[in-house]
A = this chain, B = another copy of it.
Amino acid sequence: MDNKSLILNNIGKWINLTEAEADHFTSLLKPVTAKRKELILEAGEICRYSYFVTSGCLRGYTIDANGFEHVLNFAAPNWWIADMYSLLSQRPGNTYIQALEPTSTLALSKDAQERLYREIPAFERFFRIITENSLVSFQQRLLDNLSLTAEERYQNFCKRYAGLTDSIPAKQVASYIGVTPEFLSKMKHKLLYKK
């Protein structure tokens, strides 16, 4: 499936577009690629795009005052990613978005997105629904962090990113669930042994 078909398929799960609307929408997208480890957004910058991943994998993370990285989310093919705070407020954000492997995206600028809302109101519905899903996922993760053991958090990670768990480096998985890579490794052995 080519990249435009992939994104139209993603959108088609939630809203119906006419052929003319689909053409107009895809004409607003800009292909953005990144090499392994390349940053497509840095903390301190204003996030001007929502990125739809067509191949590869991105991760969103932040660096705290002590220099520790904290992973916010991953985006595999068919996922959208942005620094939502910065995108919505158009103020500098505190999130980095980095490619974990060579990655291709279709980028929708904030301006194009606002234009879509005016020209094709069904996009209000599309972005409402994917934002709701994202909110549920973040609320769940917040609750996981507050109340689950590391082992349970790892199992929820595997459910959330099913099919991706082997392609995300262990170091990043450890950062996502909030343990050291060594602890994650021991835990995975224990879980294998349990099975």
By a beta-carbon cutoff of 8 Å, the part of chain A in contact with chain B is: 62, 64-65, 68, 70, 72, 84-85, 88-89, 94, 117, 121, 124-125, 127-128, 131-136, 138-143, 145-148, 178
Contacts and interface: CB of A to CB of B under 8 A. Distances in A.
A94 B89 CA distance: 31
Contact of A147 (B70, B133, B141, B146): B70
B142 A145 contact: yes
Contact of A64 (B84, B133, B148): B148
Contacts of A117: 125
A85 B178 contact: no
Given A70-B143, A121-B125, A146-B178, 9 more contacts: A62-B143, A62-B146, A62-B147, A70-B147, A72-B139, A121-B124, A125-B128, A141-B142, A145-B145
A85 B139 contact: yes
Q: Is the interface of A mostly helix, strand, loop or mixed?
A: helix
Contact of A139 (B68, B84, B89, B121): B84
A133 to B, nearest CB: 8
Contacts of A64: 146-148
Contacts of A139: 72, 84-85, 138
5 contacts: A64-B146, A89-B136, A124-B124, A145-B145, A145-B146
Nearest to A138: B138
A132 B88 contact: yes
Q: Which 4 pairs across A and B sit closest by C-beta, in order of nearness? A: A64-B147, A128-B128, A124-B124, A70-B146
Given A145-B142, A147-B65, A136 B72 contact: no
A66 to B, nearest CB: 8
